[in-house]
Amino acid sequence: MKNKEIARIFERMGTLLEIQGENVFKVRAYFKAAENLQHLAEDVVQLRQEARLEEIPGIGKALREKITEYLDLGKIPAYEELIKEVPESLLDIVHIPSVGPKKAKLFYDERKIKNIEELKKQAEEGGLAGLPGIKEKTIANILNGIRIVQAGQERMNLGTAIRTAEEFIAQLEVLKEVKRIEVAGSLRRAKETIRDIDILVDSSASKKVMDTFVNLPQVKSINGHGESKSSVMTKEHVQVDLRVVEPDQFGAALLYFTGSKNFNVKLRQIAMKQQMKVNEYGIFSTKGTEEQRVAGKTEAECFSALGLPYVPPELREDIGEERIFSGKKIPRLIELKDIKGEVHVHSTWSDGRNSIQEMVEAARQRGYEYLAISDHSPRLRVAGGVSPENLLKKKKEIEALNEKHQDFRVLFGTEVEIDADGNLDYNDKILSDFDVVVAAIHSGFEQGREQLTRRLIKACQHKSVNVIAHPTGVHLGKREPYDVDLKQLCQAAVDGGTALEINSFPVRLDLNSDNAYFAREQGVKFMINSDAHQVAHMAYIKFGVALARRAWLTKDDVLNTLPLKDFLKAIKRKKG
């Protein structure tokens, strides 16, 4: 859709103008317009045809003209002008943590730095020294920021990977030549970050499938185009590999290409001990004089031929494989359908895009029994935290909705800020009035390990707090987790009867699977939440569930698998 293309240009123009030092209102107008276009349900092309461009909220005459220009000319002349004045590559620099538009301009004006590579070189070689406001610590932060961003470019988050894979699958599965199609690789294992996407197709007409694949509209360039394997790069710089295999090999191929590499190595060792062999074509017995194929059509058949239980893909690495191969019994892992509700979503009362009613409708459609609307507290001003006076109105709105629905319960919640000393942003009386309290840190990340841990522990001990949101504060590709003593935090959570969150938002995924596995061993209970800021985000819960599976979590470890009555009992128990 043109909406997204124009939104992207407006976003870039906003940043370039910001670098130029344009006035904040003008800059903000571009960002606002970009955001509104990004979320617009209707197509601008159609709006234009029907002379209804005026109906797009938050877009004035000047920007409306630019939309028209783009639709007519395929470009926006003002943007073309702008990138003659300010190199476009500065946009990459602005997005490095601890740089921003002012420093980008400073580096460009004073040191002629135009891109990340030049910035990195100068930062390493002392070239930034002496610039106003640039201390040694700033330079260290910038180098760290470059490292995080570059690592993030190498590996995409689970959300981007799934979206890309789903687009490809949707266009390939309709071919009559495609009998079966599955994702493999790290995406099937639901790793938090993914380098490239592996897709496997069962077909005996490989040429047709491959020709279609490399010619799909999202393909930007072709890395390879063969009968059994092809590889492309998308316009969003994502590599997608497609393999076509014969039906009776599909299971063995799926097993092999799901990996992880280490898991495959272990499987081969196990096979060898039983005079067997495993590869992407099947499982073979090497007992007799002639090799004999004993399995390959399905994964289940392959595992059973090796005398192993079926290992869910999420467990096929790291912690998972260690445990399995040392004989640990695989429990019935939590599944998406076990989730009965969630307690961390936002509404228009703070920085969400949908009303409480719309969020509730979406939750009902997902089959939930309850949903806590947990908007931010006032301290988080950028997110429009809810003032104590407005809380009363919000509560009334929730009560009215509850009158309407007999089979669903809207809970009155909050995502309350934990301040620099571990105190909460509402007083105790207000806090005790909520059905559910989610507590979170959004600032002061740079505090040391001790202080950060102390803040979180104090929040855990508060009698109204039910769950600590995104406990390590990681922002994939942007910010590393803050330094927290997880062991102490787990202890406080267990003692205080406070759950830890598995936040499903794709750039968060926090706690991650390693941390969640550790926390579970300490006896921690969890809540898996989407942290949705609009209806569409509620689907993110599947990432949290996949992550929980990687951490060996069962239904019993996760409180929001409880039906409403039991869930309420579980959270009330804390209040006493």
Query: Interface residues with ligand DGT (CB under 6 A)?
Result: 185-186, 191, 194-196, 198, 256-257, 259-261, 264-265
Gap between the Cα atoms of 70 and 50, Å rounded: 17
**Residue 196 touching Ca ion (CB under 5 A):** yes
By beta-carbon proximity to Ca ion, the closer residue of 145 and 313 is 313
Strand order in the sheet with 276-279: 276-279, 282-285, 292-295
Q: How far is the CB of 198 from Ca ion (least distance, A)?
A: 5
Structure tokens at 66: 């630019």
Q: Among candidates 489, 485, 481, 417, which has minimal Cα distance to 445?
A: 481
Q: Among candidates 244, 238, 156, 265, which has minimal Cα distance to 200?
A: 244
Residue 151 interacts, among ligand DGT, Ca ion, none and using kind-specific CB cut-offs from 5 to 8 Å, with: none
Residue 260 interacts, among Ca ion, ligand DGT, none and using kind-specific CB cut-offs from 5 to 8 Å, with: ligand DGT
By beta-carbon proximity to ligand DGT, the closer residue of 195 and 542 is 195
Residue 206 interacts, among Ca ion, ligand DGT, none and using kind-specific CB cut-offs from 5 to 8 Å, with: none
Question: Phi, psi at residue 76, to the nearest 5°?
Answer: -115, 110
Q: Using the 8-state DSSP alphabet, how is residue 446 labeled?
A: T
Q: How far is the CB of 238 from ligand DGT (least distance, A)?
A: 11
By beta-carbon proximity to ligand DGT, the closer residue of 197 and 356 is 197
Q: Among candidates 197, 200, 191, 198, which has minimal Cα distance to 158?
A: 191
Q: Among candidates 517, 524, 519, 558, which has minimal Cα distance to 323?
A: 517
Stretch that binds Ca ion, among 102-110, 180-188, 295-303, 397-405 (CB under 5 A): 180-188
Q: How far is the CB of 184 from Ca ion (least distance, A)?
A: 8
Q: How far is the CB of 155 from ligand DGT (least distance, A)?
A: 7
Give the nearest residue (CB) to Ca ion.
Answer: 185
Cα 368–chain centre separation: 21
Q: How far is the CB of 215 from ligand DGT (least distance, A)?
A: 23
Question: Phi, psi at residue 243, to the nearest 5°?
Answer: -125, 140
Residue 257 interacts, among Ca ion, ligand DGT, none and using kind-specific CB cut-offs from 5 to 8 Å, with: ligand DGT
Residue 140 interacts, among ligand DGT, Ca ion, none and using kind-specific CB cut-offs from 5 to 8 Å, with: none
**Residue 477 touching Ca ion (CB under 5 A):** no
Q: How far is the CB of 258 from ligand DGT (least distance, A)?
A: 6
By beta-carbon proximity to Ca ion, the closer residue of 231 and 529 is 231
Please, which residues have CB within 8 angstroms of residue 386's CB and are 6 or more apart in sequence?
349, 350, 375, 376, 377, 378, 394, 414
Task: Please identify which residue in 14, 185, 352, 544 interacts with Ca ion, judged by CB under 5 A.
Answer: 185
Task: Please identify which residue in 92, 192, 198, 397 interacts with Ca ion, judged by CB under 5 A.
Answer: 198
Q: Among candidates 311, 230, 213, which has minimal Cα distance to 550?
A: 311
Question: Phi, psi at residue 200, to the nearest 5°?
Answer: -120, 135
Gap between the Cα atoms of 514 and 481, Å rounded: 13
Residue 470 interacts, among ligand DGT, Ca ion, none and using kind-specific CB cut-offs from 5 to 8 Å, with: none
Q: How far is the CB of 299 from Ca ion (least distance, A)?
A: 18
342: helix, coil or strand? strand
Q: Are 508 and 470 in contact (CB under 8 A)?
A: yes
Give the nearest residue (CB) to ligand DGT.
Answer: 259
State the residues that interact with Ca ion by CB under 5 A.
Answer: 185-186, 196, 198
